[in-house]
Chains A and B, each alone.
Chain A
Amino acid sequence: MEQALACSFEFFQQAARPNKLPKHLRGKIADVKPFLPWLLALATLAMAQQGSEKKKDAPPPEPAPAPLFKSKLGYKSSKTTKESTTLGFNGIDPSGKVDKQMLATTPTTADQANVKKMSDNRPTDTDLKAFVKEGGLNAK
């Protein structure tokens, strides 16, 4: 688009100095001349449109929320590639309600595997007894 604009600008400049052009071109330029302002206006409009579309495509990322508490967990999450990360504040609207888009999320096989992992993560009786003993908690 920018290239087209530059060309039309050059053409317009040459048209402004018609004496320097060969005769056969002068007639053609005279034919095109009335349309030049329209062409320029259209090109400007198209560029503006493109610019606004670009803006729509990539909304500015929401700033990370300020930490609520002093402590900040170091962790690995299953979320990194999920669409929820693009919703800002993890799919929660400003009133704190779960976003409708978020509620429409469909679990993947990886999510279902994570549910199974939750069952696998249940500690064994031996582990639990050791944990209770280590903390001086009550054994059942």
Chain B
Amino acid sequence: MKRAVTILTLAAASAQLMNAQFGGIFDKAKSKIDRTQQKAKPVSDRAEKAVENFTAWTPEEEQEIGEATAAKMIAMFGIIETPPLVRYVNLVGQSVAQYAPRQLPYRFGILDSDIVGAFALPGGFIFITKTALEGMTNEAQLAGALGHEIVHVAERHLENAIRSKKNSSWAVEEAKTKTSSMTPELVRRRADAFLLEMFNMRLSRDKEDGADERGTLMAVQAGYAANGLLEFLRTLAVVQAKPETQRAFGQLLSTHPPFDERVNHLSPIVEKSDKSGKTLEARFRSTVK
């Protein structure tokens, strides 16, 4: 009996001690969570409001945001300035862009980056990296890759995805400044938010497949061989298999489906396409060297 009383007393004392020691921690944690929820609510409310008020950018807004994001991309990576190369990429891009579903002043630039990639920005600013260009062997491949990016811009893929993502840095930024006029500072902030999302966002599978498909068809309409983009994706699938190339492909693979899956989707479309298109390998080699 005496023993039982001792055990009970000890247990009660331990419970008191435990409560004194950890009870405070639990209370603090709970109140911290409550405070965070309270603090976050207005931000998410504003983001939701932005999504509810979703309307496509006006052409002026799209241009301004495009210019600001393009300037930032150039600041980050640098741009190739060799005139014949720049002129050539623009001519190939324009040849394809003539068939774009939405006409914009499409402009093409080569980023001085060691990563393999291409980027479509609002307002028709399209960039391809010099390393991606180095991996191509003919003009049809370049036309197909640029066609893919043109589709993203023309169909507003990134704009729609970013603006419909609740709580994204873009949505919050847009909501906070919804009623403000577009000052240079505001445009810069929106450009920052846009790029942050762009580098981290994976577009839906159907958007990427659609861009491969319709980009290829636009290149075919322009007179290029249908297998341009497909061949380039096959090259990338082989090179990417080497472990030391992860750094060059990390960005592309974190935002796009795997190359072999894209090849599987595109192959039957290319099979059915017109076979009379040009690859223009000699012209490509004479400029891209």
Contacts and interface: CB of A to CB of B under 8 A. Distances in A.
Contact of A75 (B71, B130, B246, B278): B130
A22 interface: no
Nearest to A116: B67
B139 interface: yes
Contacts, number: 186
A79 B223 contact: no
A19 interface: no
B contact residues, range: 35 or more
A60 B89 CA distance: 36
A23 interface: no
Interface residues of A, number: 52
Contacts of B134: 67-69, 71-73
A132 to B, nearest CB: 6
B206 interface: no
A56 interface: no
Interface stretch (B12-20, B91-99, B263-271): B91-99
Interface in A74-115: 74-80, 82, 84, 89-98, 102-103, 105-108, 111-112, 114-115
A55 interface: no
B133 interface: yes
A14 B246 CA distance: 63
What are the 8 tightest A-B residue pairs by CB atom distance, in nearest-first order? A96-B250, A79-B78, A137-B223, A107-B71, A138-B223, A107-B75, A77-B112, A118-B107
17 contacts: A69-B131, A69-B135, A73-B85, A73-B134, A73-B288, A79-B78, A90-B115, A92-B247, A92-B250, A96-B254, A97-B250, A103-B196, A106-B75, A108-B75, A115-B70, A118-B108, A135-B283
Interface of A: 65-69, 71-80, 82, 84, 89-98, 102-103, 105-108, 111-112, 114-115, 118-119, 121-123, 127-128, 131-132, 134-138, 140
Interface of B: 67-68, 70-72, 74-82, 85-87, 90-91, 94-95, 98-99, 105-110, 112-116, 125, 130-131, 133-135, 137, 139, 192, 195-196, 199, 221-224, 239, 244-254, 278, 280, 283, 288-289
